[in-house]
Amino acid sequence: MRNRKAIYTLLSLLVAVGFYLYENYNPQSPTIVSIDGFNYLPSSTTGQIIQHKNYSLSYNELYEQAEWVAYELEISHLTYEDRRRPYFINDPKVITGSANYKNYKKSGYDRGHLCPAGDRRFSKEAYDETFFTSNITPQKNDFNAGIWNRLEMKTRYWAKRNKHLYIITGGILNKNLPTIGYEDVAVPEYFYKIILDYTEPEIKAIAFLFPHKESKNHLSNFIVSIDDIEKLTNIDFFPSIPDNLESKLEAKSSSENWKF
């Protein structure tokens, strides 16, 4: 009887896992390989990589937010349709459960997008996806609407010039950060954004690291190397790039070949 019960339990578990995989499989979703055959996704320190149709992320349950969000930004994505903002909702693909938007209520912090809604106006589905709570992080309003917004606009400018970019962004997550809400959503003290142009012959990358406060300084003052951000996050940002090129790109901390 005990063996039979164990078998039933195992079968039930297998059925549940199979059902979850079936429910979350979408043959229309992009794979982690882009249209030119380049896998641009970083490593994950948690193993919980979520692939949505229009961006991917690595969710960190300990800090109740993504440690990175990655997406492609093409010139064709830059449209200006006036989309109606939906409500923020929990991400149905995060197995551990993404933080509820109510954690932000009366916290004094914005629900700051990591993949900006403004980069996904080309369809209602793409726009609405950016309102999953796995794609938001606590940000001060003046920072969110200030220098962080300036970098988002500059990134769109570069997408128009370079046609096709890869964007990776997130907060620096470490111990002893302040938190908000009943789920203890961490408030990062620094935010980063990494931009890669993988189009030959001028393959290039640029990275930014911002203290979580508004600044009137020029964006170029916040350029760092990708290596610097990897040391802070323990994330390997471009593991699929050939080692010699990866080393060259990740060691740079200049605005060379990026027009401001």
Residue 250 CA to residue 228 CA, distance in Å, equals 8
pTM: 0.86
Per-residue model confidence as pLDDT tens for the chain (260 residues): 434 434 433 444 443 334 344 344 333 333 344 445 678 899 999 999 999 999 999 999 999 999 999 999 999 999 988 999 999 999 999 999 999 999 999 999 999 999 999 999 999 999 999 999 999 999 999 999 999 999 999 999 999 999 999 999 999 999 999 999 999 999 999 999 999 999 888 899 999 999 999 999 999 999 999 999 999 999 999 999 999 999 999 999 999 899 99
Give residue 159's pLDDT.
Answer: 96
Give residue 20's pLDDT.
Answer: 40
Considering only CA atoms, which of 171, 134, 159, 131 is closest in space to residue 56?
134
Q: How far are the Cα atoms of 29, 119, 120 from residue 126, in angstroms, in the given order?
A: 12, 9, 5
Considering only CA atoms, which of 205, 260, 244 is closest in space to residue 228?
205
Give residue 38's pLDDT.
Answer: 72
Considering only CA atoms, which of 72, 28, 24, 27 is closest in space to residue 50?
24
Considering only CA atoms, which of 57, 58, 54, 56 is closest in space to residue 74?
54
68 burial via Cβ count (<10 Å: 0-12, 13-18, 19+): buried
Which of 113, 164, 212, 218 is the catalytic position? 113
Q: Length of the chain in residues, anyone? A: 260
Lookup: tokens for 242: 């050939």
Torsion sign over Cα 200, 252, 137, 59: positive
Give residue 36's pLDDT.
Answer: 53
Domains (ranges, CATH) in the chain? 29-251 (3.40.570.10)
Give residue 39's pLDDT.
Answer: 86
113 assigned to active site = yes
CA angle, residues 114, 117, 119, in degrees to nearest 5: 90
Give residue 246's pLDDT.
Answer: 93
